[in-house]
Amino acid sequence: MLVILAKRLAMGIVLVLMASALLFFAGELLPGDFATKLLGSSATPETVEALRRSRGVDAPALARYLQWLGGLFRGDLGTSLTNGREIAPLIATRLKNTLILAGAAALIAVPLAVGLGTLAAIFRNRLFDRAILVLSMVTVATPEFFFAYMAIAVFAVNLHWVPSISIITAGMSFERMLPLLALPVLTLVITSCAHMIRMTRASIVSVMDSDYVGTALLKGLPEWKVVVRHVLPNVMSPIAAVVVLNLADLVVGLIIVEAIFAYPGMGQLMVDSVSKQDITVVQACGLIFAATYILLNMIADLLAIALNPRLRYAR
């Protein structure tokens, strides 16, 4: 088990390093006229050169990559190419906002999805199960913005319950944040549940259909005991893995939802920076998203192994 853990951890670190190299060297492909673009056509070659040097754009690429990487470990993410401000403090507050949004969405979506999936498995092929199936088919194929604007039209414009954009400021009290979070969280919950519901249902159904559950029922064990002793331990591993995998998708789904609601998080910052071609901010945000995604995928892998002894000897 420890060997597997160490192996996966090493693989995760290698992946994050390769992601950082990819992000950095992609930035090198940016046409070198950045300084020209920033200063406008009236700039003299000298001012352009001075700006390039002040942003450290004239050292060789590999040296700057190592410097950038070293900076990351000290919590220094460099400076924004467009406005020259430090990126780390900018990201810190936005990361906090993003974590609040993601945490709130996960806190609601995970129990809801697992609960609905379990109910769908219990009422298999009955009306409730069919309804859940249709709903999950619809939500899986519908873009975030459809639900988001639907929710805005109903709850913000018609009912005036909550505002249509969610601009959160520093030091805002929890009670004041709550209505602002409502619609983004609702959108994220709707779009992230479907896959978890389907997988929960599928894993429970496959265990319920197995011979040992049939035997347990036939030998007269009460149903709740069958569920607790035989079904639950065997569905925990696939469900836990699916839940964590979906958290990884949720983190990426955040990027779009934040942009819709003008929510001041990492995703909105990244989208903004892409349209401004502010590559250093894109690199910093991209690395945080990629590392989170890789980490969650790794945890999903490890959870599956930890909860399912059979996988420990698979490879």
The binding site for another protein (CB under 8 A) comprises 15, 18-19, 22-23, 26-27, 29-30, 125, 133, 137-138, 140-146, 149-150, 152-153, 156-158, 164, 191-192, 194-195, 198-199, 201-202, 245-246, 248-253, 255-256, 259, 270-271, 273-275, 277-279, 282-283, 286, 289-290, 293-294, 297
Ordered alpha helix ranges (H), the chain = 2-28, 34-39, 45-54, 61-73, 87-122, 127-141, 144-151, 174-208, 211-218, 223-226, 232-261, 266-275, 279-307
Nearest approach in angstroms of CB 223 to another protein is: 22
Q: Is the dihedral of CA 231, 236, 237, 243 positive or negative?
A: positive
Of 296, 290, 245, 247, the residue nearest 266 (C-alpha): 290
Ramachandran angles phi, psi of 277, nearest 5°:
55, 35
- What span, in angstroms and rounded, lies between the C-alpha atoms of 158 and 152? 8
Please identify which residue in the block is written with the tokens 């409730």: 128
Nearest approach in angstroms of CB 240 to another protein is: 16
CA angle, 11 then 12 then 13, to 5°: 90
Question: Please, which residue, 42 or 158, has the CB nearer to another protein?
Answer: 158
**What is the C-alpha radius of gyration for the chain, rounded to an integer number of angstroms?**
24
Nearest approach in angstroms of CB 273 to another protein is: 7
Question: Please, which residue, 19 or 311, has the CB nearer to another protein?
Answer: 19
Question: Please, which residue, 130 or 229, has the CB nearer to another protein?
Answer: 130
Question: Please, which residue, 80 or 216, has the CB nearer to another protein?
Answer: 80
Nearest approach in angstroms of CB 251 to another protein is: 8
Q: CA–CA distance from 174 to each of 100, 111, 180, 184, 186 (Å)?
A: 11, 22, 10, 16, 17
Report whether 185 contacts 168 (CB < 8 A).
no
- What span, in angstroms and rounded, lies between the C-alpha atoms of 227 and 49? 71
Question: Please, which residue, 63 or 138, has the CB nearer to another protein?
Answer: 138
Question: Please, which residue, 156 or 305, has the CB nearer to another protein?
Answer: 156
Nearest approach in angstroms of CB 98 to another protein is: 14
Nearest approach in angstroms of CB 160 to another protein is: 12
The residues that bridge with 79 in the sheet, in sequence order, are: 86
Question: Please, which residue, 50 or 164, has the CB nearer to another protein?
Answer: 164
Which residues does 58 contact at the CB level (< 8 Å), separation at least 6?
Answer: 52
Nearest approach in angstroms of CB 170 to another protein is: 25
Nearest approach in angstroms of CB 46 to another protein is: 27
Q: CA–CA distance from 160 to each of 133, 150, 165, 166, 309 (Å)?
A: 32, 14, 12, 14, 52
The residues that bridge with 181 in the sheet, in sequence order, are: none
Question: Please, which residue, 216 or 293, has the CB nearer to another protein?
Answer: 293
